[in-house]
Structure 1
Amino acid sequence: MSPSSVACPRCGFPELAPPIVIVEPACTSPEYLHSNYLPPDSVIVGTRREMALAETGIVHVEEKMADLERVIDRLRLRRQGLHDFIAKHRRVLGRVLAPIRRLPNELLSEIFSHCVERDPYEWDPTTNVEWILVLVSRAWRAVSISMPQMWNRISISNTSAPKNMDLKAALSLQLERSTHLPLAIDFDFKSASAEQRISVLETLFSARDRWQVANIHLTQAEVLHFRSGFAFPKLTKLGFSLRPVTDEHTVSSIFRATPALQELCYNGRLVLGPHPTASLLQIGSFPLSQLRRLDLLDFGYHPSELSSVLGLACNILDLRLRGCFSLGDQVDPKALPNLVSLDVAECDGSILGFILAPVLRRLAISFPNARLSYDLESFMTRTGASLTDLTLHHAPAREALLGLLALAPHLTSLSMGHMDTVISWRFVKSLTCGLDKQNLVPQLVSLELTGLFESGFDDSLLVMLKSRCISGPLRSARIGGFRHLADIQGQLLRLGLNSVVDLSDKL
């Protein structure tokens, strides 16, 4: 602030006082401004005096302008400060007035739960929703940490586990936040070093009394390392594989550690010695009769072994088999009186002649060879009357397949995917009128048909779907491989089909 200015008592900014008095210069001889005449000496002296007064006035004006510029700069700073004040407090009010800020913690917890359910299952503290929510605000952190159900899923795989992180510390923290809730564990950490795998497993096994669902892939050395600590009293669903091939003692130790097991899935091959049934099953290490679901994937059992397994697991509701069992004719059929769902893939057809399932509701099967058609016909002759859901993959689109459908009159859902032969107009027409004008699967509600369709029979598909919509309960159709489905979708929708989906792009 210049000496010639003082602060304004109202606003605090400088005000010029006293005002600068500028003497205006006067032109002594204006007639000489517009002519070339030489002025006299008196006029020259007067003109120089007036010019000196003008130069002094310029100095005073510049001082005044400098004072005003300083005032403007200070006003600009004050204005910016006021803008900043408004912006900061507007953000505060925005946070306070935002709808999500006014939600009660109970509703916020429900939202967080849905976020976690939709998040990929793979465990990664750098990207998982529950780990991000705790970083948003103190309030969100408190709500997130108070929800143990957000922290009881752990799935560690080669692709998900972060490389540059103390996994043991992160796992310990997550286990602590899950408090007392049952745990869902998935461990398939093949690419990690043995030391890192053991470290992670030790942390997971520290909470083994809370394991409820587990899918673990271990080496025999890891199983032996933890054998003395096996005890999973709450484990009801277990999927596991062992690498490399192991022995019966390892498997029996796993069974003894899971007294509450209800669902068992084994993936891989076992070589259990010359008498695996005696060594594994008859030792009574695990009561297979309490199982409700059994999955044997690529198990590689001898026929007698599968017979023994199913004989002991006689109360299962859901059975899934994958692998080449090749039972032949030397194995007696096994009755599974409670079985309601059967999924068979890549198996010899003789497996179907080996299972008696009087109340079966769902059957899913693929056709690896032609002989399976005969075995399936024999199986459905015994079981088809109870079937309501049938899925056939890689089946031949021929009259024999229609004969199988005739054995299951109570089907409500039928899926025939990736048909092995061209789907002809005769096959589609037969789906309408059936064999010998017998209506096939009259109770059908949902139909899926994918494969390579014979060209030039739009009317056959349209007539088939129309007839099932008008005179039957069909409400959903999923078609793949048919080029002109878009042309008839409008007509089908008007008939009442709730879902007409073209699956061609997914084939």
Structure 2
Amino acid sequence: MSPPKSALARTDTTPHTEGFVSASEKISTSERYSPQLGIRIKNINAESALRRQVAVECAAPVHRLPPELLSEIFVHLTESNLLGYNSQKEGRNYAAHLIATTVACVCVSWRAAALATPRLWSRIHVDEQTRHLDAYVRTCISRSRKHGLEIVCTAARHLPAVIAGILPHAPRWESISLGGFFKDFCSIAPGHHFARLRDASLSINSLVDNEAGTFEFLANAPSLRQVRLNAMETIYHEPTKLPSSWQLARLHLDLDDICHLRPLVATLAQYQATLEDLICAFDDDIRSSTLEGVIDPIQLPVLGSIELSRHAFMLFSYLNAPKISEIIFIDTEARNGLPYGRLLTFLTLPSSPLTHLRRLRLMETYHAFDEETSEGLLRCLELMDELQELDVSCSAQSTFAFGYPDWMGEDMSLTLWTGLTVREGRRPVLPNLLVLRLYLGTEWLTDQQRREQHDSLTVMALSRKRARVVQGRQVVALERVEVDRGRDSSILSRLSVTG
């Protein structure tokens, strides 16, 4: 059925002329305003860009730092001692914890940078105050990723737990400082490879059975160059055995009672080809050494510095070290011509280091520099033509003249200053001396004794004020004399003799 005509009229879509005219006018109007709209849009975009730039410039500079730079700043913070940042309780020992609870809380980007910086988490420090031990160690291990580990454990009771957490990551160890009981060290399973370990400080807090391989778990450490061992006395008063596989350049032994030198010399002999620096201290003089028979001296061809404390100067009888440039005595006492008698024997060996010796330091001496002791030291100094620096430091509560107060009955001697004074007609001692440092400790001297010491020292220093030839030998000018006399403020505390 066909629709009615009225419906056809309403649905007619045939275009009419008046419709074309209206559309044309609208298009013409749009074309006329289009350039203006484009310019306005461009201006709006420029204004928005300017607003964004101003907002960025007004923001704190830290918000514009790249993550790499943030990481370096955080690392610098943890390795610094900035006032107000490192506390006495939690200094750089807990670097990761400090970062996590301070700067990492500033914003999301800072926290992301802190958590993504392995170096921040590579130092694991455990002491008696450490809380949440297992979680702390696990967090440092995981967030440090593949970075080398620096491990410190000063709490002996925590050592087993710390070792359990870090031993599976043995190839990442770079530096360790471990303190614990003898049995705990012995219980560490051997067979691990410490490919990156360079430095080890090991402290045993209990009696040691020297027959046990206390540190054999570290035998496979091809990069290990520095070891410090602090051990209490062994059952047989002999030093703890160390792995012979190490190739050490620096060895520091701080031991208790030693009654036999042979085992100690044998330990040093294990590293004779590579040892460059030796520090050794033990308490007892070797009363039974005569029962050990002949001990062959060991050759130390590259040893450059030796520091011997307390009775360790006894080792000088068993060392051939022609390249030593520095000798340090600490905390020694003079009895029966020791320690300078042993030093003199060492200096007169065919392999004497006299041509290389540049520095002699006598630190914290508590013996009296009486006539006999001063002459013993002078006999050594007379051989040291190439020596450039001499340090003499008395320990607290002692004096250059007398040592401890209970020795004050001994006569004060100025023999050392007299012997070092350069005079015409006498062979000069220490012709190449450039620096003289002294802590004389005059607390126990009378005013008269202080004056005599001051006068003798001044004459000696002035005799070296200028370079000259004496007895056919060139004597250099003394560049610096540093004198600290403790409580004595009446005497010049610093004497400069620069010519």
Give the TM-score, by structure 2 length.
Answer: 0.66
* Residue pair 1:294, 1:319 contacting (<8 A) in 2 also: yes
Q: 1:408 aligns with which of 372, 378, 384?
A: 384
- 2:327 is equivalent to residue 363 of structure 1: yes
Q: Secondary structure of the residue that 1:449 maps to in structure 2?
A: strand
Q: Which residue in the other structure is 1:156 paired with? A: 126
1:384-441 CA deviation, whole Å, 9 max, x = no partner?
Answer: 3321121113154323323322222222332111055258666445434279744333
User: How far apart, in 2, do the equivalents of 1:106 and 1:439 lie?
Assistant: 61
Give the fraction of aligned pairs with identical amino acids, expressed as a percent: 22
User: How far apart, in 2, do the equivalents of 1:404 and 1:439 lie?
Assistant: 13
User: How far apart, in 2, do the equivalents of 1:435 and 1:392 lie?
Assistant: 28
User: How far apart, in 2, do the equivalents of 1:460 and 1:95 lie?
Assistant: 70
* Residue pair 2:280, 2:312 contacting (<8 A) in 1 also: no
Give 1:339 deviation, angstroms: 0.9
Residue pairs, 1:164-175, within 5 angstroms: 165-175=131-141
- 2:300 is equivalent to residue 320 of structure 1: no
* Residue pair 2:251, 2:277 contacting (<8 A) in 1 also: yes
Number of positions where the alignment pairs a residue of Structure 1 with one of Structure 2: 389
2:123 is aligned with what amino acid? R
1:298 is aligned with what amino acid? L
Q: Which residue in the other structure is 1:431 paired with? A: 420
* Residue pair 1:116, 1:130 contacting (<8 A) in 2 also: no
Give 1:122 deviation, angstroms: 6.1
Q: Which residue in the other structure is 2:177 paired with? A: 215
Q: Which residue in the other structure is 1:267 paired with? A: 230
- Identify unmatched segments of 5+ residues in structure 1: 1-91, 498-507
* Residue pair 1:122, 1:156 contacting (<8 A) in 2 also: no
Q: Which residue in the other structure is 2:260 paired with? A: 302
* Residue pair 2:389, 2:435 contacting (<8 A) in 1 also: yes
User: How far apart, in 2, do the equivalents of 1:177 and 1:436 lie?
Assistant: 72
* Structure richer in helix, relative to its length: 1
Q: 1:375 aligns with which of 324, 342, 356?
A: 342
Q: Which residue in the other structure is 2:401 paired with? A: 421
The 3 A distance-change label for structure 1 pair 360 and 150 is: same
Give the TM-score, by structure 1 length.
Answer: 0.65
- 2:78 is equivalent to residue 116 of structure 1: yes
The 3 A distance-change label for structure 1 pair 97 and 386 is: same
Q: Secondary structure of the residue that 2:78 maps to in structure 1?
A: helix
The 3 A distance-change label for structure 1 pair 259 and 97 is: closer
1:19-68 CA deviation, whole Å, 9 max, x = no partner?
Answer: xxxxxxxxxxxxxxxxxxxxxxxxxxxxxxxxxxxxxxxxxxxxxxxxxx
- 2:306 is equivalent to residue 342 of structure 1: yes
Give 1:348 deviation, angstroms: 5.5
* Residue pair 1:303, 1:325 contacting (<8 A) in 2 also: no
Residue pairs, 1:22-421, within 5 angstroms: 96-97=59-60, 108-119=70-81, 123-124=93-94, 128=98, 132-158=102-128, 161-162=129-130, 165-190=131-156, 192=157, 197-227=159-189, 230-242=192-204, 243-246=206-209, 248-251=211-214, 253-269=216-232, 271=234, 286-288=244-246, 290-298=247-255, 300=258, 302-315=260-273, 316-323=275-282, 324=284, 326=286, 327-328=289-290, 330-347=294-311, 349-366=313-330, 367-370=332-335, 371-381=338-348, 382-393=352-363, 394=365, 396-397=368-369, 398-418=374-394, 420-421=400-401
2:483 is aligned with what amino acid? I
1:455 is aligned with what amino acid? R
Give 1:445 deviation, angstroms: 3.7
* Residue pair 1:386, 1:408 contacting (<8 A) in 2 also: no
2:211 is aligned with what amino acid? E
Q: Secondary structure of the residue that 1:343 maps to in structure 2?
A: strand
User: How far apart, in 2, do the equivalents of 1:405 and 1:107 lie?
Assistant: 55
Q: Secondary structure of the residue that 1:118 maps to in structure 2?
A: coil
- Identify unmatched segments of 5+ residues in structure 2: 1-54, 403-411, 443-448, 468-475
User: How far apart, in 2, do the equivalents of 1:143 and 1:439 lie?
Assistant: 65
Give 1:227 deviation, angstroms: 1.5
Q: Secondary structure of the residue that 1:456 maps to in structure 2?
A: helix
Give 1:481 deviation, angstroms: 1.4
> Who wins on radius of gyration, i.e. which is larger?
1
* Residue pair 1:325, 1:351 contacting (<8 A) in 2 also: no
1:237 is aligned with what amino acid? D
2:389 is aligned with what amino acid? S
Q: Which residue in the other structure is 2:41 paired with? A: none
